[in-house]
């Protein structure tokens, strides 16, 4: 599994977390944990063991989770049944933090004498436990045996920390910090299947810069967001990714190897080299079609009249790679302002793409800089028009299509 060191929590938007709290002094940290999960966008339902109520009040947890707390199998006032089965079905993740030695032992033994345990036995989702106890209890062979047993059955364990314990003793047993636990859950839920491991992709992204003199240049509005999202998505699915990047302000996506370039000529050289070893390429960069014929050595001085800068054609990187692609896969982009579909289809054939991602500047929310895009996939057989969506989701759709072609 992922390392326990990263403490930034990825988005949990729309995810359902069943937060189990057991009777440990560390239950006070569950309040912060609940807030962090909510802040990351999760819906949180808290289930407490009867003893946990002695350590943190149901009122606190109900207020923070914005849901009534569940403790008993039924409400003694009106007999309303708390269904552990539907809780188990509802949850995308069951997180038990803190998890006492008692609860860990009962989980291993299959005991079901409270709602938290019956929910655990019914849960179909990943289960994460964050143990909290005194150092001797933690290192006791029964606790270690139980944790090993749970691990072997797929339960994730966020290890406790070394430090000062409530007993005054110092050692391992202090529940991990809420930030670490929330990040663990976030990474667990966003982890993708490594469907592209063993594959290598080259992605071009961002704007090129064509120098006029030491101060000025010709460029365009490309932010690089679309290409970076695709590179990140490919890497998350296990592919090796070389990102040949023009100018952007974006951080390099995790697991991606970035090669920085400036001009179209530099991008050509880097892309040709990276494509040699690749199984496919996604050509997302906004490459200048023209560059000044000469770069002035000194800053050009202004005069009274007009100025003309002679331009020459740059090399078409996509067309060059397309002519030598063989069985490799190539995806191209087309950003059009008019006659969109005809122009995009022409590019598909001319540059030997497997499919083209068309975005039109006429569509609201599509194109440069923004975080959303509205695209149409065009290949030899068909067109598929997608609705407006975040660029990260467009990237997922593009990589889904890549997978369907290379399988």
For ligand C5P, the binding residues (CB under 6 A) are 204, 264, 283-285, 287, 314, 316-318, 332-334, 347
Instruction: Report d(CA 347, CA 186) in Å as an integer.
Output: 40
Q: Reduce the secondary structure of 325-348 to three states and give it as a string.
A: CCCCEEEEEEEECCCHHHHHHHHH
Catalytic positions are 220
Q: Are 160 and 132 in contact (CB under 8 A)?
A: yes
Residue whose CB is less far from ligand C5P, 132 or 344: 344
Residue whose CB is less far from ligand C5P, 23 or 332: 332
Instruction: Report d(CA 84, CA 75) in Å as an integer.
Output: 13
Residue 24: CB partners within 8 Å, gap ≥ 6? Answer: 52, 55, 98, 99, 100, 132, 133, 175
- We find the least distance from the C-beta atom of residue 222 to ligand C5P, in angstroms, to be 9
- We find the least distance from the C-beta atom of residue 353 to ligand C5P, in angstroms, to be 8
CA end-to-end distance (rounded Å), the chain: 26
Residue whose CB is less far from ligand C5P, 123 or 344: 344
Residue whose CB is less far from ligand C5P, 186 or 227: 227
Q: Are 374 and 359 in contact (CB under 8 A)?
A: yes
Instruction: Report d(CA 113, CA 374) in Å as an integer.
Output: 52
Residue whose CB is less far from ligand C5P, 42 or 321: 321
- We find the least distance from the C-beta atom of residue 100 to ligand C5P, in angstroms, to be 57
- We find the least distance from the C-beta atom of residue 368 to ligand C5P, in angstroms, to be 14
Beta bridge partners of 341: none
Q: Radius of gyration (Cα) for the chain, nearest Å?
A: 28
DSSP string over 250-282: PPPPTTEEEEE--SHHHHHHHHHHHHHT-SEEE
Residue 90: CB partners within 8 Å, gap ≥ 6? Answer: 16, 18, 45
Residue whose CB is less far from ligand C5P, 64 or 334: 334
Instruction: Report d(CA 151, CA 143) in Å as an integer.
Output: 12
Question: Phi and psi for 406 in degrees, rounded to 5?
Answer: -85, -5
- We find the least distance from the C-beta atom of residue 364 to ligand C5P, in angstroms, to be 21
What 3-state class would DSSP assign to 171? strand
- We find the least distance from the C-beta atom of residue 286 to ligand C5P, in angstroms, to be 7
């Amino acid at each position: 599994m992922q390392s326990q060191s990263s403490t930034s929590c990825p988005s949990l938007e729309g995810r359902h977390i069943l937060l189990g709290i057991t009777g440990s002094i560390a239950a006070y940290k569950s309040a912060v944990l609940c807030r962090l999960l909510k802040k990351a966008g999760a819906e949180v339902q808290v289930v407490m063991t009867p003893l946990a109520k002695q350590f943190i009040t149901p009122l606190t947890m109900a207020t923070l989770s914005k849901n009534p707390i569940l403790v008993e199998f039924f409400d003694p006032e009106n007999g309303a049944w708390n269904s552990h089965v539907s809780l188990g079905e509802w949850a995308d993740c069951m997180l038990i933090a803190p998890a006492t030695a008692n609860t860990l032992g009962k989980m291993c033994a299959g005991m079901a004498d409270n709602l938290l345990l019956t929910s655990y036995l019914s849960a179909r989702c990943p289960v994460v436990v964050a143990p909290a106890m005194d150092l001797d209890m933690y290192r006791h062979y029964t606790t270690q045996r139980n944790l090993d047993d749970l691990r072997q059955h797929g339960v994730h364990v966020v290890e406790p920390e070394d430090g000062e314990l409530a007993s005054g003793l110092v050692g391992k047993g202090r529940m991990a910090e809420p930030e670490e636990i929330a990040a663990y859950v976030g990474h667990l839920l966003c982890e993708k299947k490594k469907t592209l491991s063993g594959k290598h992709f080259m992605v071009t992204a961002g704007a090129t810069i064509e120098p006029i003199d030491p101060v000025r240049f010709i460029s365009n509005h490309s932010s690089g967001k679309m290409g970076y999202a695709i590179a990140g998505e490919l890497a998350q699915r296990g592919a090796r990714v070389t990102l040949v990047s023009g100018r952007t302000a974006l951080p390099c996506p995790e697991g991606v190897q970035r090669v920085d370039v400036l001009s179209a000529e530099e991008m050509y050289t880097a892309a040709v080299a990276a494509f040699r070893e690749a199984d496919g390429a996604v050509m997302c960069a906004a490459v200048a079609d023209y560059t000044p014929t000469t770069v002035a050595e000194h800053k050009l001085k202004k005069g009274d009249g007009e100025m003309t800068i002679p331009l020459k054609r740059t090399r078409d990187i996509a067309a060059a790679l397309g002519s030598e692609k063989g069985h490799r896969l190539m995806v191209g982009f087309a950003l059009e302002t008019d006659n969109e579909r005809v122009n995009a289809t022409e590019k598909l054939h001319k540059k030997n793409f497997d499919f083209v991602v068309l975005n039109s500047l006429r569509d609201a929310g599509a194109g440069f800089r923004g975080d959303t895009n509205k695209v149409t996939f065009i290949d030899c057989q068909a067109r598929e028009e997608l609705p407006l969506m975040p660029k990260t989701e467009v990237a997922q759709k593009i990589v889904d299509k890549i997978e369907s072609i290379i399988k």
